[in-house]
Structure 1
Amino acid sequence: MPHVQLVPTIRRRRLAQTLKKLRKDAGMTSEDVAAALGWQVPKLSKIENVRQQIQPAEVTELLKALGYKQDDLKNAEVFTALENLARDARKKPGWWQTYSGVVSPSYADYISLEEDAEQICEWTPLVIPGLLQTTTYARETIAGTTSSRTPEEIAALAEVRQARQAVLTRRDHPLALWAIIHETALKTRFEIRPTTMREQLRKLLDTTDMPNVTIQIMPSDSTAHPGILGGFSLVSFPGPTPDVVLLENLSGATYVEGDGTQPFTGALERIRATALSVEDSLARIAQIQERHRK
């Protein structure tokens, strides 16, 4: 399975991969496209290998050379998505740059993916997804999983998690989030602040009122499913841009791209089918929340 570590030019990588895939899907060689555009072949090669930027206007011309018609409604999403991606690839890093002292390059890459994403499906067996965490829960879990961060850095990272949640309420096309959480993650206890988990469960219940958020709970007595091998996030984008999968562990983040994401798509369907229904999941959250009152 091809694991690829994304670099800071993540938008350029995604754009280059998509343009290369569309060219191959059209059955055209680099020479064919370069000739149609009046380009030198090395220019197209550099663009597809992320060694040269491409202007939004050049994306438009390239898509036309591949047979896409700009006035065709069926192609409109392709033009819009890739032109915007080319435009965004030239931008400076986003709001998270303010936290560059605590946000690692790989974490910054993922925040960038969230900003561009149309939908994220997460399977989290041990922790509440970051986009659904309260500030206190974030601070306590960050502190509990690291021994090298100062209190100030922990507070800053908790702020980052809260700021990331803006994608769920953005005015234009809020991110669609489908989170499948193992029941075990709902039972964590925090000695310093015992009310942390109860407040976190309340947030989960409140968040389900949002039409773009779906939460399922995997019961402790579930049958075997692919998720027992570990958690992951499947990030999907508008237009033809391929999905990206995030895997996390103590050594950092690993990204899976291209055809390597297909097994995760199938696994996610099986995990969803094994988990409780949305209605039963809400009931289970409320039931566990009541236990945390004791």
Structure 2
Amino acid sequence: MPNSPVVPTVRRRRLGGTLKRLRKAAGLTLDEAAGAMGWIGPKMSKIENAAQSIRPGDVVTLLKLYGVDDPEMSAALENLARDAGKKGWWQTYSGLVSASYADYISLESDAEQIYEWSPMLIPGLLQTSAYARETMTGATTSRAPHEIAALAELRLARQSVLTRHDKPLELCAVVHEAALHQRFAQRPATMREQLRKLLDAADMPNVTFQLVPLTSAAHPGMSGGFTVAAFPAPTPDVVLLENLYGATYVEGDDAIPFAKAFERICATALSAEDSLARIAEMEEGHRK
């Protein structure tokens, strides 16, 4: 029976792309690197393009060939090779989670920083259970109530990356103020509880939250929201774009403009201190 084709997960693409950049930096062609490994050129090409897996030990050998002597980098890429096809805890929800969403959760789990611009919604890592259920119910056209409940549970489970013992994820979230004016007719307290959660989350040293005010100047974020997942060098950033058809990933050099756009969006936003003051004011208004 023929071997099953390798699924090009985001982890495998990150590894392949990083190995490709390191090979080029070392001044080696595909055939030269493959020859040094005792391989043929097509195998190296498949590895770099995430069409074939690579053993962790071969990653170590390649890094030596490329002159990489940073032990932390070597360990990170070796682990990435080991975990490239590994199933995560979110596989418990495999009947509900699309392949692209599973890819994103693995990205989120591996990332050191997440930079998120969200013009219409509170980012998932900062949502309450009620807010998650209400917004998913309003947005879906096909999910049953029990599926919504399970997906909301999954969204809250993702938030553990912010409190993990080993290097908690650093989150920098920028949200348009319009998102905080959402109303929920069936459960009016939903937004007040959500605002309170934002205030509590902002007390965490690894969480930064800013608001782009309704009166802001024009900025690059007007074209839509995006999320940047950042990793230790030399692994490049990965950008997530979402729409009704699912998720699209932007990787490598194509991700660079998003980091620059995020900086410009932050420049139009209120400071973190002023943003929290505005949220506290709005939360108080919900009490009246």
TM range (shorter): over 0.9
What SS is found at the alignment partner of 2:140?
Answer: coil
| Contact kept in structure 1, 2:125 and 2:156, CA below 8 Å | yes
How far 1:255 sits from its partner (Å)? 1.1
How far 1:132 sits from its partner (Å)? 0.2
Report the TM-score when normalising by structure 1. 0.92
How far 1:51 sits from its partner (Å)? 2.9
How far 1:14 sits from its partner (Å)? 1.3
Which 5+ residue runs of structure 1 have no aligned equivalent?
Answer: 1-6, 70-74
What SS is found at the alignment partner of 2:96?
Answer: coil
| Contact kept in structure 2, 1:63 and 1:79, CA below 8 Å | yes
What SS is found at the alignment partner of 1:292?
Answer: helix
CA deviation string 1:254-273 (max 9, x = no partner): 11111111111111010011
| Contact kept in structure 2, 1:231 and 1:247, CA below 8 Å | yes
What SS is found at the alignment partner of 2:287?
Answer: coil
How far 1:222 sits from its partner (Å)? 0.6
Identical aligned residues as a percent: 67
Aligned pair count? 282
**Distance (Å, rounded) in 1 between the aligned partners of 2:49 and 2:257:** 25
| Corresponding position of 1:191 | 185
| Corresponding position of 2:144 | 150
Alignment partner of 1:260 out of 241, 247, 254: 254
| Contact kept in structure 1, 2:15 and 2:81, CA below 8 Å | yes
242-251 or 175-184: which moved more? 242-251
**Distance (Å, rounded) in 1 between the aligned partners of 2:240 and 2:43:** 31
How far 1:17 sits from its partner (Å)? 1.1
**Which structure carries more relative contact order (alpha carbon 8 Å, separation 6+)?**
1
What SS is found at the alignment partner of 1:86?
Answer: helix
**Distance (Å, rounded) in 1 between the aligned partners of 2:221 and 2:98:** 27
Change (3 A) 1:42 1:229: closer
CA deviation string 1:192-242 (max 9, x = no partner): 110000000000000011111000011100111111111100111123111
**Distance (Å, rounded) in 2 between the aligned partners of 1:109 and 1:119:** 16
**Distance (Å, rounded) in 1 between the aligned partners of 2:180 and 2:52:** 47
What SS is found at the alignment partner of 1:184?
Answer: helix
Q: Does 2:88 match 1:107?
A: no
| Corresponding position of 2:285 | 291
Q: Does 2:214 match 1:220?
A: yes
| Corresponding position of 1:4 | none
**Distance (Å, rounded) in 2 between the aligned partners of 1:291 and 1:166:** 30
| Corresponding position of 1:14 | 14
**Distance (Å, rounded) in 2 between the aligned partners of 1:45 and 1:104:** 28
Letter in 2 for 1:32: E
**Distance (Å, rounded) in 1 between the aligned partners of 2:240 and 2:40:** 36
**Distance (Å, rounded) in 2 between the aligned partners of 1:15 and 1:256:** 15
**Distance (Å, rounded) in 1 between the aligned partners of 2:39 and 2:120:** 51
| Contact kept in structure 2, 1:77 and 1:239, CA below 8 Å | no
**Distance (Å, rounded) in 2 between the aligned partners of 1:8 and 1:106:** 11
Letter in 2 for 1:49: N
| Corresponding position of 1:78 | 73
**Distance (Å, rounded) in 1 between the aligned partners of 2:57 and 2:8:** 23
| Contact kept in structure 2, 1:16 and 1:50, CA below 8 Å | yes
| Corresponding position of 1:122 | 116
Report the TM-score when normalising by structure 2. 0.94
| Contact kept in structure 2, 1:216 and 1:275, CA below 8 Å | yes
| Corresponding position of 2:233 | 239
How far 1:35 sits from its partner (Å)? 3.2
| Corresponding position of 2:65 | 65
**Distance (Å, rounded) in 2 between the aligned partners of 1:288 and 1:28:** 58
Letter in 2 for 1:60: V
| Contact kept in structure 1, 2:184 and 2:191, CA below 8 Å | yes
Letter in 1 for 2:213: P
| Corresponding position of 1:3 | none
CA deviation string 1:46-103 (max 9, x = no partner): 322323211111111100001122xxxxx22321210110111142x11111111111
| Corresponding position of 2:38 | 38
List structure 1 runs of 4+ shifted beyond 4 angstroms.
none
45-54 or 231-240: which moved more? 45-54
CA deviation string 1:146-183 (max 9, x = no partner): 12111100000100100100111111111110000111
| Contact kept in structure 1, 2:8 and 2:50, CA below 8 Å | no
How far 1:8 sits from its partner (Å)? 5.7
Q: State the superposition RMSD in angstroms.
A: 1.3
119-128 or 241-250: which moved more? 241-250
